[in-house]
Amino acid sequence: ALEYSEFDDEEYVVDIYTSYAQMLCQNNQIKQANQLIEKGLQSYPKNESLYEQLAFNFIAINQYEQAIDYFKKRIDLNPYDHYSWFNLGKFHEITGNKLEAESAYEYATLSSIDAKNAHFNLGALYEEKAAYQLAVDHFLSSFKDQDDLYPYVCAARCYIKAEDPIKARYYLDQAKEMENLISEYLFLKGKSYMLEHDYLKASVFFNSVYKIDKDDFENIFCLFQCLAFNLEYLKLEHIYNNLKRVSPNLILQHWVELAGIFYRELYTDLLEDIFQIVDKTKNYQEELDIVHGAINFIENPSKQNKERLLSQLIHNFEDGIDTLKWFDAELLADEDIHQLIIIYQNQNNE
């Protein structure tokens, strides 16, 4: 088929190349698979599918470091090969070297205006670093065609994290066609109203997501916050009881967050219920002790209760600090607890 492929269209021929390469990879013939795809690139030097297959050749047999060396050699031959720069960045990212990945993606975007995937991945890296405006700039530079609306959703997500609900909704409006396609759209819309303390409007969107995905805890937690603010206790209790029935592991994974909201909203029956669930497992005793210690100190900030809480934190610092913020974030500003945090951070930096 490849011998007479010059008489066929590009999509058909590329499909033959990639299918044959995948077969070679399955037989651990990585060198032959690469040579085959390189031959295809001689005829179709800008075909993205062939470059994707080159990357897959290495991924299929976990040869990540070899892939980095391979794409570096391709770049040496052609420094303006944005596909190779992109794949180099991807393998740096896979191996955990995000600074090198960022640099490679940057070179990809400088090499060609067509490096859309590199812009998208740069956006994700900058979002992870909380450099939200840079992330938005790259997401908006990653559009491939008029049907490619997801970068707008990514931009909206960044503005949600930057606590700018107006700009978030502006970009969501640009991607209106995705409203019924992905639950993330609805979730971000809800978050935008939640940032404005419009909990009634926000709960409508969170409830829509819950109907689609009953295991999305981040959405469930936001929905609980809205229902609590709107004094819809019975609805909150109904969803919680449904979680107990169909997703008991989800409750155990996030019991501290749930206990925190039940405590803050004075839902004592639900709080006691979740304590009983956790206690029965016998797997979270240290965390449970810290929760009880935090509650005791919040309700009775005596010297004895503080000393007991500090002792519990010393023995399980990271989990303990994460636990405190769900019950009363102001506890982290307590002089003794804050000093403990500084000591721990200094030890980690040494």
Buried b (16+ CB within 10 A) or exposed e, 5-29: beeeeeeebbeebbebbeebbeeeb
Higher pLDDT, 3 or 333: 333
The model's pLDDT over 220-275, given as tens digits with 9 standing for 90+, comes to 999 999 999 999 999 999 999 999 999 999 999 999 999 999 999 999 999 999 99
d(CA 87, CA 74) in angstroms, rounded, equals 11
pLDDT of residue 332: 74
Token pair, residue 75, equals: 């770049």
pLDDT of residue 345: 65
As a whole number, mean pLDDT of residues 272-293 equals 91
Kindly report the average pLDDT of the chain as a whole number.
88
pLDDT of residue 50: 80
Look up tokens 């085959």; give the residue: 36
pLDDT of residue 123: 97
- pTM, whole model, 2 decimals? 0.82
Higher pLDDT, 204 or 348: 204
pLDDT of residue 348: 61
As a whole number, mean pLDDT of residues 64-71 equals 90
d(CA 60, CA 298) in angstroms, rounded, equals 54
- 317: Cα within 13 Å, side-chain hemisphere: 12
Q: Identify the three-state secondary structure at position 45.
A: coil
pLDDT of residue 318: 73
Token pair, residue 304, equals: 């004895």
d(CA 235, CA 209) in angstroms, rounded, equals 15
The model's pLDDT over 292-328, given as tens digits with 9 standing for 90+, comes to 988 998 889 888 988 888 888 877 777 777 788 888 8
Higher pLDDT, 50 or 212: 212
As a whole number, mean pLDDT of residues 160-187 equals 96
First CA to last CA distance, the chain? 62
